[in-house]
Amino acid sequence: MIDVVDKQTRSRMMSAVKGKNTAPELRVRRYLHKEGFRFRLHRNDLPGSPDLVLPKYHLVIFVHGCFWHQHPNCRYAAMLATHNRFWSKKLEDNSKRDLMQVDELINAGWRVLVVWECGLKHCNEQIDQILPFLTGDTSFMIWPNTPPKSV
Protein backbone atom coordinates (compact mmCIF):
# COMPACT_ATOMS: atom_id res chain seq x y z
CA MET A 1 0.00 0.00 0.00
CA ILE A 2 1.33 3.43 -0.93
CA ASP A 3 1.50 6.13 1.71
CA VAL A 4 -1.17 8.81 1.28
CA VAL A 5 1.16 11.66 2.26
CA ASP A 6 4.60 12.67 1.03
CA LYS A 7 7.80 11.79 2.89
CA GLN A 8 8.22 15.19 4.54
CA THR A 9 4.66 15.20 5.85
CA ARG A 10 4.97 11.64 7.15
CA SER A 11 8.26 12.48 8.84
CA ARG A 12 6.72 15.54 10.48
CA MET A 13 3.71 13.50 11.62
CA MET A 14 5.82 10.70 13.13
CA SER A 15 8.18 13.10 14.89
CA ALA A 16 5.19 14.82 16.51
CA VAL A 17 4.16 11.64 18.33
CA LYS A 18 4.66 12.27 22.03
CA GLY A 19 6.24 9.86 24.48
CA LYS A 20 4.95 11.57 27.63
CA ASN A 21 1.63 13.11 28.60
CA THR A 22 -0.30 11.31 25.89
CA ALA A 23 -4.11 11.34 25.91
CA PRO A 24 -4.37 7.76 27.26
CA GLU A 25 -1.83 8.53 29.98
CA LEU A 26 -3.68 11.69 30.99
CA ARG A 27 -6.91 9.72 31.17
CA VAL A 28 -5.37 7.19 33.59
CA ARG A 29 -3.87 10.02 35.64
CA ARG A 30 -7.21 11.83 35.93
CA TYR A 31 -8.95 8.61 36.92
CA LEU A 32 -6.41 7.70 39.60
CA HIS A 33 -6.40 11.21 41.00
CA LYS A 34 -10.21 11.21 41.17
CA GLU A 35 -10.06 7.89 43.07
CA GLY A 36 -7.69 9.44 45.62
CA PHE A 37 -4.40 7.90 44.47
CA ARG A 38 -1.26 10.01 44.46
CA PHE A 39 1.63 9.26 42.17
CA ARG A 40 4.88 10.45 40.64
CA LEU A 41 5.43 10.81 36.90
CA HIS A 42 8.13 9.40 34.63
CA ARG A 43 10.71 8.43 37.24
CA ASN A 44 13.85 7.97 35.21
CA ASP A 45 15.65 6.23 38.07
CA LEU A 46 13.48 3.13 37.45
CA PRO A 47 13.80 0.78 34.46
CA GLY A 48 11.69 2.01 31.55
CA SER A 49 10.89 5.35 33.22
CA PRO A 50 7.31 4.27 34.10
CA ASP A 51 4.49 6.65 33.20
CA LEU A 52 3.15 6.60 36.77
CA VAL A 53 4.73 5.45 40.01
CA LEU A 54 2.69 4.88 43.17
CA PRO A 55 5.40 4.47 45.83
CA LYS A 56 2.88 3.82 48.63
CA TYR A 57 1.69 0.69 46.80
CA HIS A 58 5.11 -0.14 45.35
CA LEU A 59 3.42 -0.05 41.94
CA VAL A 60 4.44 1.26 38.53
CA ILE A 61 2.07 1.80 35.63
CA PHE A 62 2.95 1.84 31.96
CA VAL A 63 0.35 3.24 29.56
CA HIS A 64 1.33 1.67 26.24
CA GLY A 65 0.30 2.73 22.78
CA CYS A 66 -0.83 -0.34 20.86
CA PHE A 67 1.23 0.48 17.76
CA TRP A 68 4.48 1.55 19.42
CA HIS A 69 4.53 -1.37 21.85
CA GLN A 70 2.92 -3.92 19.50
CA HIS A 71 -0.13 -5.05 21.46
CA PRO A 72 -0.66 -8.70 20.37
CA ASN A 73 -3.72 -9.30 18.18
CA CYS A 74 -4.76 -5.65 18.31
CA ARG A 75 -5.95 -3.89 15.19
CA TYR A 76 -4.05 -0.74 16.23
CA ALA A 77 -0.76 -2.62 16.15
CA ALA A 78 -0.83 -3.19 12.39
CA MET A 79 2.53 -2.99 10.65
CA LEU A 80 3.16 -0.04 8.36
CA ALA A 81 3.27 -0.72 4.64
CA THR A 82 6.32 1.41 3.92
CA HIS A 83 9.81 0.79 5.29
CA ASN A 84 8.60 -2.52 6.65
CA ARG A 85 12.03 -3.86 7.60
CA PHE A 86 12.92 -0.73 9.58
CA TRP A 87 9.60 -0.60 11.43
CA SER A 88 9.40 -4.30 12.20
CA LYS A 89 12.87 -4.22 13.79
CA LYS A 90 12.17 -1.02 15.71
CA LEU A 91 8.84 -2.25 17.07
CA GLU A 92 10.21 -5.70 17.89
CA ASP A 93 13.05 -4.04 19.82
CA ASN A 94 10.47 -1.94 21.71
CA SER A 95 8.58 -5.08 22.73
CA LYS A 96 11.73 -6.87 23.86
CA ARG A 97 12.83 -3.83 25.87
CA ASP A 98 9.38 -3.63 27.50
CA LEU A 99 9.64 -7.26 28.68
CA MET A 100 13.15 -6.73 30.06
CA GLN A 101 12.07 -3.62 31.95
CA VAL A 102 9.06 -5.39 33.47
CA ASP A 103 11.34 -8.23 34.62
CA GLU A 104 13.81 -5.75 36.14
CA LEU A 105 11.04 -3.95 37.99
CA ILE A 106 9.50 -7.15 39.36
CA ASN A 107 12.94 -8.40 40.44
CA ALA A 108 13.47 -5.09 42.24
CA GLY A 109 10.23 -5.67 44.17
CA TRP A 110 7.89 -3.42 42.19
CA ARG A 111 4.43 -4.43 41.04
CA VAL A 112 3.74 -3.63 37.37
CA LEU A 113 0.52 -2.68 35.60
CA VAL A 114 0.48 -2.31 31.82
CA VAL A 115 -2.54 -0.42 30.47
CA TRP A 116 -3.11 -0.61 26.71
CA GLU A 117 -4.37 2.35 24.71
CA CYS A 118 -7.15 0.32 23.06
CA GLY A 119 -8.60 -0.55 26.45
CA LEU A 120 -8.97 3.12 27.23
CA LYS A 121 -10.50 3.87 23.85
CA HIS A 122 -13.18 1.21 23.94
CA CYS A 123 -13.69 0.22 27.56
CA ASN A 124 -14.64 3.59 29.01
CA GLU A 125 -16.95 2.23 31.66
CA GLN A 126 -14.57 -0.56 32.66
CA ILE A 127 -11.46 1.38 33.69
CA ASP A 128 -12.42 0.78 37.31
CA GLN A 129 -11.46 -2.88 36.76
CA ILE A 130 -7.87 -1.85 37.51
CA LEU A 131 -8.74 -0.68 41.04
CA PRO A 132 -8.50 -4.11 42.74
CA PHE A 133 -5.02 -4.56 41.30
CA LEU A 134 -3.83 -1.23 42.67
CA THR A 135 -4.30 -2.21 46.29
CA GLY A 136 -3.93 -5.99 45.87
CA ASP A 137 -0.85 -8.14 45.97
CA THR A 138 -0.58 -9.32 42.36
CA SER A 139 2.87 -8.57 40.93
CA PHE A 140 1.96 -8.14 37.25
CA MET A 141 -1.17 -7.32 35.27
CA ILE A 142 -2.01 -6.28 31.73
CA TRP A 143 -5.25 -4.37 31.21
CA PRO A 144 -7.18 -5.14 29.16
CA ASN A 145 -5.61 -8.49 28.54
CA THR A 146 -7.59 -9.03 25.36
CA PRO A 147 -7.96 -6.28 22.77
CA PRO A 148 -11.38 -5.35 21.40
CA LYS A 149 -12.49 -7.60 18.54
CA SER A 150 -14.22 -4.84 16.61
CA VAL A 151 -14.67 -1.13 16.81
Contact in structure between 137 and 113 (CB atoms under 8 Å): no
The CA distance from 63 to 26, in Å, is: 9
**Distances from the Cα of 116 to the Cα of 26, 65, 79, 102, angstroms:** 13, 6, 17, 15
Measure the CA dihedral 14/3/74/65, to 10°.
Answer: 10
Contact in structure between 62 and 51 (CB atoms under 8 Å): yes
Run means of pLDDT, 10 residues per run, the chain, 151 residues: 68 68 88 92 93 93 86 81 82 90 94 86 67 77 56 35
CA angle, 73 as apex, 70 and 76 as ends, to 5°? 55
Q: What pLDDT shows up at residue 72? A: 84
Contact in structure between 68 and 25 (CB atoms under 8 Å): no
Predicted TM-score of the model (pTM): 0.80
Contacts for 74 with CB less than 8 Å, ≥ 6 apart: 66, 116, 118, 147
Q: What pLDDT shows up at residue 149? A: 41
Q: What pLDDT shows up at residue 144? A: 66
The CA distance from 115 to 19, in Å, is: 15
Domains of the chain, first to last: 20-143 (3.40.960.10)
Q: What pLDDT shows up at residue 10? A: 64
The CA distance from 117 to 112, in Å, is: 16
The CA distance from 65 to 71, in Å, is: 8
Q: What pLDDT shows up at residue 14? A: 66
